[in-house]
Structure 1
């Protein structure tokens, strides 16, 4: 086992996932090191979203193991997985458009039954990360801009401390200025609050975002992880970028 896997909070070992008649994941091996951001990269259809959904139990692993801190979780129902302090931000964000920003956050706080029971210090921290949420506190979430909805989706996942945060393409379709703001917020989440860092597994198509946020990286192709290592090493190797992703970072600067 590699040193990265030895220090991993999350590990996938030989994971296969079928969706109906389709065999999507073909023996995925993946390690997300504790306290780090691991970028999950690859072309469209490589299996990245299926990997996140398999970790959450939304789609079941037909073979292999999903381990959190060494504990197999692949057979647990999704609500039990979430109670292990794992949060998932899907590509469609999954917010409730008819509810206010406040109601969306309260709904995600399993330990709070009312606004008074929310951790106010943590809420202030989230407002510092995403100031628009304070401004639109009583605003229907469905009327927020795309960037504001993405901020709400991430804040909702972080309204309580999480050991592991799974995020699927948070910058997709956003304007460059909003992407920069989101990168800054995710960097702050990466640094952690009160010294408690959250482990993040993040799917992203924007290589510049991946370079800015990633500590580790795994590249998928055809339902398998075909490369795993440090993000800085991939960012510094144009030939490897071209071979794995069909792009060169230098061409995007």
Structure 2
């Protein structure tokens, strides 16, 4: 791991009358997987959406490399090299797998070598290339959502709960795909409730509670320390 590619400093986010993020501070090391964990409603998804500018920070700083991005439009942040895989997946069910992928290719065409690499990560997408995406299983739709985000090189990938509602066999395939992304030194911020998945992939971890980052450190330390798990999460990764 090297220095931070992304830095959040005392970030606050209001949504209407609700004060969701309350001074969130953490760094994202370049070339590593940073996992954000915490109870439901802790502010994890809001953090990702605030980084991407879908919700605007009301105070604080978000720096991507050397640039302040907290006041930029989402389209500008995306063009800077940040991709987002939402929990809702956001695929177009009436379009084919190919058409969904093509929409994400900013040049309007595929780089053949990169396409082959992406489809190698998610083989079912090659099989169902000409099928309407709405006919895919939940796990296959999640594969498509991730594949679409990486069809072009990105400097930072934000992924929100990729295993939610996914069958265990698909989760194992997804771990293999993410491990390949790790081997390529892809920088990822991952929100995840499945702690087996999180601990298999995470280099660093941010624990959120009530809109704050209450713990930051190595994922291996949290995974090995049941007292920390009980303190911050109310459960054990070993359960």
Q: TM-score range by the shorter chain?
A: over 0.9
Q: How far did 1:85 drift?
A: 1.0
| 1:239 aligned to which of 212, 227, 232 | 227
Deviation of the 1:70 alpha carbon: 2.5
Number of positions where the alignment pairs a residue of Structure 1 with one of Structure 2: 239
User: After the TM superposition, which residues 196-235 of structure 1 pair with which residues of structure 2 at under 5 Å, given as runs?
Assistant: 197-235=185-223
From 62, 77, 81, the counterpart of 2:77: 81
Gaps of at least 5 residues in structure 1 are none
- CA displacement, residues 107-151 of structure 1 (integer Å, 9 cap, x when unaligned): 0111x22xxx31100100011100001000010011100000000
Matches of 1:171 and 1:151, distance apart in 2: 10
* Cα deviation code 1:87-125 (max 9, x no counterpart): 000000001111110001110111x22xxx311001000
Task: State how 1:148-187 maps to structure 2 within 5 Å.
Answer: 148-187=140-179
Post-superposition Cα deviations, 1:26-54, rounded to whole Å, max 9, x if no partner, equal: 00001110000000000000000000000
> TM-score of the superposition, structure 2-length normalised?
0.98
Gaps spanning 5+ residues in structure 2: where? none
1:249 alignment partner, SS class: coil
Asked if 1:64 corresponds to 2:60, the answer is: yes
The secondary structure found in structure 1 opposite 2:238 is helix
Give structure 1 regions of 4+ aligned residues with deviation exceeding 2 angstroms: none
Matched with 1:133 is 125
Q: Deviations along 1:170-221, whole A, 9 cap, x unmatched?
A: 00011111110111101111111xxxx2210000001111110000000000
- Cα separation, 1, equivalents of 2:49 and 2:136: 26
2:93 aligned residue (74, 97, 100): 97
Superposition RMSD on alpha carbons, in Å? 1.0
TM-score, scaled to structure 1: 0.93
